[in-house]
Amino acid sequence: MATDINSVVLVGRLTREATLRYTQSGSPVLSFTLAVNRSKRNADGSWTDEASFIDCVYFAPNSQNISQYLIKGKQVAVQGELRQNKWETDGQTRSKLEVVVNTLSLLSSGNQGQAAGGNFSSQYQQRPQQSMRAPEVQPSYVDSSVQNAMPGEGPESFEDDSIPF
C-alpha cells in the first residue's frame, strides 16, 4: 500500500491580523491568510509578481500568546498539511482548501516595527511519522589527534585561539 504525502511549506506575508476564536470545547484556533508571491514572465519578457492568497488555520494551546504578533504585513513561515473543507449552501456543494498549520515561524517585524521572532509548534499530529536516519557526516575541520580523543583529553597544544570562530 502506497503512503501519500500531504506536506506544505509556505513563506509569505499576513494579509490582515490573525483571528483568534475558540472551539466548543474551549480550544483556541487562529485563522489567517498568507499572501505568497511568485514571479511570472509577461509576453514582453518583463517579470511581474503574482500573489496567491492561502487561508491557514492553527490549532495550538499557545495561540492566544502568538496572536498578538500576527499582524498585517508580518512575514511568517508555516509548515502543515493541506485540507479540503466541503459544505452545501443553497443546494450547491462548495469547497475550500486551507493549510492546517503544524509549525509557525515569525520571520519579520511587519509594518509595526516590532522585532519579535520565534518558532511555534502546535504539537498536532494526525498520525505518527516514521523517523528517517540522517546520513553520518565526517567533520571537515578536525585535527586527527582531537577527533578520537575522549572528553577532557586532547593535545596539550590546543588553545582557544586556534578555534576558527
**pLDDT higher for 154 or 61?**
61
Gap between the Cα atoms of 97 and 37, Å rounded = 18
The pLDDT score that the predictor gives to residue 2 is 73
Does residue 29 surpass a pLDDT of 90? Answer: yes
The pLDDT score that the predictor gives to residue 159 is 57
Taking the whole predicted model, whether its pTM rises above 0.75 is answered as no
pLDDT band at 58 (very low <50, low <70, confident <90, very high): very high
In the chain, what are the domain boundaries?
A: 8-39+49-121
The pLDDT score that the predictor gives to residue 129 is 44
Please report which helix (H) or strand (E) contains residue 144, including its range: helix 144-147
The pLDDT score that the predictor gives to residue 124 is 43
Q: Contact at 8 Å (CB) between 69 and 76?
A: no
Which tens digits make up the pLDDT trace of 116-141?
445 555 544 444 444 445 545 444 44
**pLDDT higher for 143 or 54?**
54
Gap between the Cα atoms of 93 and 116, Å rounded = 41
Q: How far is CA 86 from CA 63, 92, 98, 119, in A?
A: 25, 10, 11, 31
CATH topology of domain 8-39+49-121: OB fold (Dihydrolipoamide Acetyltransferase, E2P) (2.40.50)
Q: What share of the chain has pLDDT > 70, as a percent?
A: 65
**pLDDT higher for 83 or 149?**
83
The pLDDT score that the predictor gives to residue 131 is 44
Which tens digits make up the pLDDT trace of 66-119?
989 999 999 999 999 999 999 999 999 999 999 999 999 999 765 544 434 455
Do the bridges between strand 8-14 and strand 28-41 make them parallel or antiparallel, or are there none, so unpaired?
antiparallel
